[in-house]
């Protein structure tokens, strides 16, 4: 049960920003990751330079806020796992995880008007689809032997 709970909690906190560059076994620098993510999303969503310049400061602000929300729970999870997790603690941790997800969802909802002020809704939907594609590419690259994100295939033309 502890292993299942650990796996569940670990999967909940899998963040794209902790993507590991397998060449040299080092973690990718956050600035490098953000640049690659921004380039990927910009291309996939077809953002202009002006749109990207207005959108990404808000986008990364939201990501930072969500990371902070997750941080406290990550620290608590690590501590509990190190000390040994009781069934009651596992249940409490699952409840806190659900609460944190709701807070993240509320943050996203709160940022939506800000995003709509700088991008049309159609491009925001493309951003959402591009985020999912980015995560998939990242995970696929890691599964294929840890090919670093920098070697991700560039997005080609998309069918409309």
Instruction: Please write the tens of the pLDDT for every residue from 71-100.
Output: 988 888 888 787 778 888 889 888 988 999
Residue 78 counted as domain residue? yes
Residue 27 within a domain: no
For residues 20-38, give the mean pLDDT: 72
Kindly state whether residue 85 falls inside one of the protein's structural domains.
yes
Token pair belonging to 42: 């910009």
| In the chain, % of residues over pLDDT 70 | 74
Distances (CA, A) of 119 to 47, 51, 124: 9, 7, 7
Return d(Cα 65, Cα 69) in angstroms, integer. 6
Give the predicted TM-score (pTM) of the model: 0.71
Q: Region 45-62: what's the mean pLDDT?
A: 97
Asked if residue 91 is part of any domain, the answer here is: yes
Q: Residue 64's CB: how many other CB atoms inside 10 A?
A: 11
What is the total count of domains within the chain? 1
Q: CA 148 to CA 93: how far, in whole Å? A: 33
Segments forming the whole domain that contains residue 123: 32-136
pLDDT at 52 over 70: yes
pLDDT over 60 (residue 24) = no
User: What tens digit of pLDDT does each residue of 128-147 get?
Assistant: 999 999 999 988 888 887 64
User: Which ranges in 13-157 belong to alpha helices (H)?
Assistant: 30-45, 49-83, 87-118, 121-143
Residue 15: pLDDT over 70: no
């Amino acid at each position: 049960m502890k292993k299942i709970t650990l796996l569940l909690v670990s999967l909940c906190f899998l963040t794209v920003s902790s993507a590991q560059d397998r060449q040299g076994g080092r973690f990718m620098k956050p600035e490098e990751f953000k640049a690659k993510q921004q380039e990927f999303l910009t291309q996939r969503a077809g953002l202009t330079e002006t749109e990207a310049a207005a959108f990404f400061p808000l986008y990364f602000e939201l990501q930072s806020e969500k990371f902070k929300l997750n941080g406290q729970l990550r620290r608590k999870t690590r501590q509990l796992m190190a000390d040994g997790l009781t069934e009651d603690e596992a249940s409490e941790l699952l409840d806190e995880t659900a609460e944190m997800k709701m807070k993240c969802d509320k943050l996203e909802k709160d940022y939506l008007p800000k995003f709509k002020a700088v991008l049309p809704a159609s491009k925001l939907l493309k951003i959402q689809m591009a985020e999912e594609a980015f995560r998939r590419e990242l995970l696929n690259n890691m599964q294929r032997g840890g090919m670093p994100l920098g070697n991700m295939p560039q997005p080609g033309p998309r069918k409309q």
